[in-house]
Amino acid sequence: MTTIDSTENRLAKEVLNNIQAVDTQTVKDMVKAELANLNKKIIVLDDDPTGVQTVHGVSVYTDWSVESIEKGFQEENVMFFILTNSRGFTADETEKVHTEIATNIVAAAKKQNKEFIVISRGDSTLRGHYPLETEVLKGTIETASEIKYDGEVILPFFKEGGRLTVDNIHYVQYEEYLVPAGETEFAKDRTFGYTKSHLGEYVEEKSAGKFKADNATYISLESLRSLDIEGITNQLLQVADFNKVVVNAVDYVDVEIFVIALAKAMKVGKQFMFRSAAALTKVIGGVSDKALLTREELIQDETNHGGLILVGSHVKKTTEQLEVLKTSDFIEFIEFDCHLVLQPDQFQEEIDRVISTTENLIREGKTVTVYTKRERLDLGEGKKEEELKLSVKISDAVTSIVQRLKVRPNYIVAKGGITSSDIGTKGLEVKRATVAGQIQPGIPVWYTGEESKFPGIAYIIFPGNVGAVTTLKDTVEILNK
């Protein structure tokens, strides 16, 4: 295989204008017919709560007990999500949790006598415990059942976030340009960094050479757009030894065409593990399109209290969005000095100050934004695990704002994956939520379950790396109309 030089930014319109059009309605009819006979429960393991950013009407379970997984199997829906929050875990914690989840899935499936598909939903900008998570899932499921996996599908396309895969290179869209993912800030992540944008090379890099780019199967846009279902199915039938299937995609129709071929391959016995962003879950789960949520749908129990916005993510886009939000004249802003985590007594005093101020303002009917200090805590080289542990302490502190809140806000917005997961599971004590839909493209909303601290509250899960600079402000304005 010739290595492609991925250093070049490309004009999005030039790339997209050169891709063959296809009759989308025909494809939708084909995929619907193919999925009707698949008869497998789809279990999505979500490494943070933002993975439901393309779906609605599905359940999210925040634990992975056999009991919860059985409930998911018993639902009429073909798909359910389990929130692992593993992007906030160490490698050892991730391995332990995924072993446990895989063991429990097999146990529940045997009890229910049902077949299943496991999708490891990860970040569309390629950060996370990969390939560890899917390797552990594969090994555990194969040991505990008769399933043997032939390959792994890699599909990080996520249209709503401008993540496109062309010529096997994964891009992140910045305004009119497509920038190779390996050259973005996401690739420089201190915990999950990488250098390759070509997905075959990315896998080779992340697997330390165990899986070679040359051995991957590449599903091209040309074969997808020419509706070469038979050819793609044959490609999938040849996959063996857990080698990777890289799927190119610039629109949902590409995923739909791929899923038609995938379903055909699975029906004759091929088994695949999946590492994907949120687009695949919508397509393979047969989830319909839905209009963006209105304020009337979101705020079901109107109070005289203000809303609460919590900003934890440190990616550049979040900081830019926060700066635009600060131009709002109806929001009170509180900076939480999270660097005091290195001085426990002062850190506790800071937490108490923030909670007390937040509580009083919400009770007075004012909307409050609490945001962590924007400079990232840097302990120096070779301190990744220590930094991750401190970030967990900071996240716990932000979560405690919701845990200790005595007044019910009108709504809650959480910015950032780890932040939103901890607030959902530890702060709001959600065991099972229903995905209401999206308030803006790629920004999902949960309705919390009856067991939660604030039952039925609209919980807006705002990914750190999604939207334009104005999107956070636009979202909050919808909630405050």
Per-residue pLDDT tens digits for 236-277: 999 999 999 999 999 999 999 999 999 999 999 999 999 999
| Count of domains observed in the chain | 2
Read off the pLDDT band of 38 (50, 70, 90): very high
Domain presence at residue 290? no
One domain for residues 303 and 363: yes
pLDDT at 19 over 90: yes
Domain presence at residue 1? no
φ, ψ dihedrals at 178, nearest 5°: -100, 120
Instruction: Average the pLDDT over each of 50-54, 131-135, 206-210, 222-226 and give the range with the smallest value.
Output: 50-54
| CB atoms closer than 10 angstroms to residue 444 | 27
pLDDT tens, residue by residue, 359-414:
999 999 999 999 998 877 777 777 777 777 787 888 889 999 999 999 999 999 99
Cis-peptide, bond into residue 131, ω within 30° of zero: yes
Specify the pairing of strand 169-174 against strand 163-166: antiparallel
pLDDT at 459 over 80: yes
One domain for residues 248 and 311: no
Q: At which of 257, 284, 311 does a domain end?
A: 284
Find the CATH number of the domain harbouring 326. Answer: 3.40.980.20
One domain for residues 101 and 208: yes
pLDDT average, residue stretch 59-81:
97
* Average pLDDT score over the chain: 94
Host domain of residue 344: 295-479
- Most confidently predicted of 314-323, 324-333, 336-345: 324-333
One domain for residues 38 and 157: yes
Domain presence at residue 4? no
pLDDT average, residue stretch 56-69:
97
Domain presence at residue 96? yes
Give the per-residue pLDDT at 99: 98
Q: What whole-number distance in Å separates Cα of residue 104 and Cα of residue 110?
A: 10
One domain for residues 101 and 134: yes
Q: What whole-number distance in Å separates Cα of residue 251 and Cα of residue 230?
A: 21
- DSSP bridge partners of 116: 41
Q: What whole-number distance in Å separates Cα of residue 207 and Cα of residue 205?
A: 6
pLDDT at 5 over 60: no
Dihedral, 99, 105, 111, 115 alpha carbons, nearest 10: -130
